Amino acid sequence: MSFDSNVPPGPLAEKWTQYRGTMNLVAPNNKRRIEIIVVGTGLAGASAAATLGELGYNVKCFTFHDSPRRAHSIAAQGGINAAKNYANDGDSVYRLFYDTIKGGDYRSRESNVYRLAEVSRNIIDQAVAQGVPFAREYGGLLDNRSFGGVQVSRTFYARGQTGQQLLLGAYQALSRQIAQGNVEMYNRHEMLDLVLVDGKARGIIVRNLLTGELERHAAHCVVLATGGYGNVFYLSTNAMNCNVTAAWRAARRGAYMANPCFTQIHPTCIPQSGDYQSKLTLMSESLRNDGRVWVPKKQEDAKAIREGKKTGNDIADADRDYFLERRYPAFGNLVPRDVASRAAKVVCDEGLGVAPTGLAVFLDFEDAIMRYGRSKAHSAGLHNPSDSKVRELGEQVVEEKYGNLFEMYEKITGENPYKLPMKIYPAVHYTMGGLWVDYNLETNIPGLFALGECNFSDHGANRLGASALMQGLADGYFVLPYTIGQFLSNEIRTPKFDPDAQEFLDAEKDTRERLEGMMNVKGSQSVESFHRRLGKIMWDYCGMSRNADGLKKARKMIQELREEFYKDVFVPGSLDEYNPEVEKAHRVADFFELGELMVVDALDRNESCGGHFREEYQTEEGEALRNDEDYAYVSAWEYKGWEEGPVLHKEELVFENVELKTRSYK
């Protein structure tokens, strides 16, 4: 299969403009004859389906949710980056590009990232035009805030619900196209296989989740926007139904999976409270604008807090270790996610954790509350206000900024974060890895495109905050609608595909046999119990830090667990009905294979970079030790089944515009 990044020639800053101006077009009369399948309705999928519909293509859009509006993009809290430089603080397209490349620890493709930074500005304009209610200043202009790993304010936000508002914007644009008949929407349909005809992606097999019926759908090309695979860890901030099946089935049909071991562990999540826990909840990174992260300096204080004999408030300032400010004075609490997460793990490993499990650090708003309170008292003309008045005013300001997050924290933990410092711990949040794509966002299978978190392209080994929304919408609104023309302009004479063709019948048969195989095991253990065990293996050996011995062990454990699954899983009910246990079963089955590949990838990469921290490769100060000499490549894995194992293809990363440096936030 071809394996070329297809990056257009020319200087970095002009590549996209030049390419866009010269690429092949599909005339309106031909668009009407062309069918496109879009799978997924998150930011990337909904924006792509809507835009392709507007352009005049015939779009069929699929989601396993009951409505496109439920996709997990809806839960993104903090914001979306754009190089608008409204804050007049020196931001530019180049700076956003540079921050993203550096934040990703120099493991992403320059040209793709530059394009992302370029179109970031259009996204804000588009969203405003759609009626997205971004936060405003008193003058009526758009407000910005700061996120980790950068020194400018370029993050646009809608309270703590930016993802929700952007997704509703895309959903509404999609709804308009559905009403106009340009997009045919299939809710409650889950993709279970990809169909190739003569080596090109021409359709999918889906399961109607209400009836259990398998359906065959054909088109000229297939666009996957099916999100990330963080749920391979069982516990993550992903929604319960997030899964890798669509992307993995494409990988099973020959699409390369790139950098699968690059997982983002987000530092500020609500810690796990028990074994019954079904998921973890994120506390937005925006909180690190004002919250200070610390643990007690003394073991006995930490112990007393864990046992409930003391609270964070009982520890004097001199007895606190603000470890991010201490280790990284230049960026302080706003270091990137991978750095903050590892630092939290280090102090907890030293026995300084503050939750009963020993796995939590404090995120403290006391200073911010008092600072805002004094400032507000000053503007209100109050001289010598009492501490309690200052606190009251300060709490109001903090509530305005983060009210919904504080409320969410209190609902889950039962503790009031205005009075007691929050307890937080890192959790799996995002996967930088994904299907390998070229500059056109096309995988190595012609006619198969991958957008958003589903692809690997822009975030390297670590994603910066507020960049996932940016990438999803960039891909869907402003990149794919152009680049898909490069493929489709050669297909204008291709007649519609017949979903009753042999290739489709074969794929449907494969899918049915796969599902029946799981149903027929009739063992004794639930799907959920297998998923939990897989998640624990992944977290223990392929989580925040990894080493060769652990990874080798994990691979074996995953293989054994997979065998046990196919011998002893019990899936209740039948295939031909609304049966959520069937959905879970095939998703977990795919997670086994992906999980093993992640371990293999982590083992291959003998360096530490971004979210991938190999214990063998660190500096004396415990920072990640990258190896650009040997590992400045994208690992693109070809999956060849259980026996043969995955085969590695390398895309060497060429850096013509940035100098590879040790990533320092000190």
Q: Does 63 bind other proteins (CB under 8 A)?
A: no
CB 396 within 8 A of CB 376: yes
Residues in binding contact with other proteins, number by CB under 8 A = 81
Q: What Cα–Cα distance (Å) separates residue 108 from each residue in 157, 258, 648, 663?
A: 26, 11, 17, 14
- CA–CA separation, 470 and 78 (whole Å): 12
Q: CB nearer to other proteins: give 169 or 296.
A: 169
Q: CB nearer to other proteins: give 90 or 138.
A: 138
Q: Does 439 bind other proteins (CB under 8 A)?
A: no
Q: Does 165 bind other proteins (CB under 8 A)?
A: yes
Binding residue (CB under 8 A) for other proteins from 10, 133, 199, 403:
133
Q: CB nearer to other proteins: give 59 or 239.
A: 239
Helix (H) or strand (E) holding 519: helix 502-521
Residue given tokens 């999100």 in the structure block: 227
Q: Does 134 bind other proteins (CB under 8 A)?
A: yes
Burial of 414 (0-12, 13-18, 19+ CB in 10 A): exposed
Q: Does 357 bind other proteins (CB under 8 A)?
A: no
Q: Does 502 bind other proteins (CB under 8 A)?
A: no
- For residue 578 the two structure tokens come to 């609304």
Q: CB nearer to other proteins: give 281 or 618.
A: 281
Q: Does 68 bind other proteins (CB under 8 A)?
A: yes
Q: CB nearer to other proteins: give 161 or 462.
A: 161
CB of 160 to other proteins, least distance (A): 10
Q: Which of positions 264-293 make contact with other proteins (CB under 8 A)?
A: 273-274, 276-279, 281-282
Choose the binding region for other proteins from 179-187, 332-340, 459-467, 627-635 (rule: CB under 8 A).
179-187
CB of 239 to other proteins, least distance (A): 4
Q: Which of positions 73-92 make contact with other proteins (CB under 8 A)?
A: 74-75, 84, 86
- CA–CA separation, 246 and 206 (whole Å): 10
| Cα–Cα–Cα angle for 282, 284, 289, rounded to 5 degrees | 145
Residue given tokens 């371990």 in the structure block: 599
CB 427 within 8 A of CB 280: yes
Q: Which of positions 184-213 make contact with other proteins (CB under 8 A)?
A: 185, 187, 210
Q: Does 72 bind other proteins (CB under 8 A)?
A: yes
Nearest partner of 429 among 238, 300, 589, 602, judged by Cα: 238
- CA–CA separation, 357 and 345 (whole Å): 13
Binding residue (CB under 8 A) for other proteins from 234, 478, 487, 591:
478
CB of 582 to other proteins, least distance (A): 11
CB 616 within 8 A of CB 547: yes
Q: CB nearer to other proteins: give 54 or 367.
A: 54
Residues classed as catalytic: 337
Choose the binding region for other proteins from 155-163, 200-208, 534-542, 560-568 (rule: CB under 8 A).
155-163
Choose the binding region for other proteins from 130-138, 228-236, 491-499, 634-642 (rule: CB under 8 A).
130-138
Amino acid at 423: K
Residue given tokens 């997205």 in the structure block: 132
Binding residue (CB under 8 A) for other proteins from 9, 88, 138, 383:
138
Q: CB nearer to other proteins: give 362 or 409.
A: 409
Using DSSP, state whether 323 is helix, strand or coil: helix
Q: Which of positions 375-414 make contact with other proteins (CB under 8 A)?
A: 407-408, 411-412, 414
Query: How are the residues of the chain apportioned to helix, strand and coil, as percentages rounded to the nearest 5?
Result: 45, 15, 40
Q: Does 489 bind other proteins (CB under 8 A)?
A: no
Q: Does 140 bind other proteins (CB under 8 A)?
A: yes
- CA–CA separation, 420 and 429 (whole Å): 25
Q: What Cα–Cα distance (Å) separates residue 29 from each residue in 21, 22, 25, 479, 492?
A: 20, 20, 12, 22, 10
Binding residue (CB under 8 A) for other proteins from 54, 367, 415, 564:
54
Q: Does 308 bind other proteins (CB under 8 A)?
A: no
Choose the binding region for other proteins from 92-100, 166-174, 369-377, 651-659 (rule: CB under 8 A).
166-174
> Would you tell me how many other CB atoms lie within 10 Å of the CB of residue 180?
10
Binding residue (CB under 8 A) for other proteins from 176, 253, 512, 536:
176
Q: CB nearer to other proteins: give 117 or 542.
A: 117
CB of 122 to other proteins, least distance (A): 7
Sorted by sequence, the CB contacts under 8 Å of residue 347 that are 6+ apart come out as 295, 321, 323, 353, 361
Choose the binding region for other proteins from 32-40, 133-141, 506-514, 612-620 (rule: CB under 8 A).
133-141
Q: Which of positions 520-579 make contact with other proteins (CB under 8 A)?
A: 524, 526, 528-529, 570, 572-573, 577-578
Using DSSP, state whether 158 is helix, strand or coil: coil
Binding residue (CB under 8 A) for other proteins from 141, 380, 548, 648:
141
CB 81 within 8 A of CB 466: yes
Q: CB nearer to other proteins: give 124 or 424.
A: 124
Burial of 657 (0-12, 13-18, 19+ CB in 10 A): middle
Q: Which of positions 33-52 make contact with other proteins (CB under 8 A)?
A: 47, 50-51
Residue given tokens 């507007």 in the structure block: 54
Q: How would you classify residue 409: left for phi > 0, otherwise alpha for psi between -120 and 50, otherwise beta?
A: alpha
Q: Which of positions 607-666 make contact with other proteins (CB under 8 A)?
A: none
Choose the binding region for other proteins from 235-243, 328-336, 545-553, 556-564 (rule: CB under 8 A).
235-243
Binding residue (CB under 8 A) for other proteins from 15, 31, 60, 70:
70
CB of 523 to other proteins, least distance (A): 11
Q: Does 66 bind other proteins (CB under 8 A)?
A: yes
CB of 207 to other proteins, least distance (A): 15
Binding residue (CB under 8 A) for other proteins from 32, 136, 650, 666:
136
Q: Does 236 bind other proteins (CB under 8 A)?
A: no
CB of 75 to other proteins, least distance (A): 5
CB of 179 to other proteins, least distance (A): 4
Q: Does 126 bind other proteins (CB under 8 A)?
A: yes
- CA–CA separation, 192 and 508 (whole Å): 9
Q: CB nearer to other proteins: give 134 or 323.
A: 134
Nearest partner of 541 among 477, 595, 475, judged by Cα: 595
Amino acid at 189: H
- CA–CA separation, 424 and 282 (whole Å): 9
Binding residue (CB under 8 A) for other proteins from 101, 113, 152, 158:
158
CB 188 within 8 A of CB 64: yes
For 19-72, the DSSP string reads HHHHS----HHHHTT-EEEEE--SHHHHHHHHHHHHHT-EEEEE-SSSSGGGSG
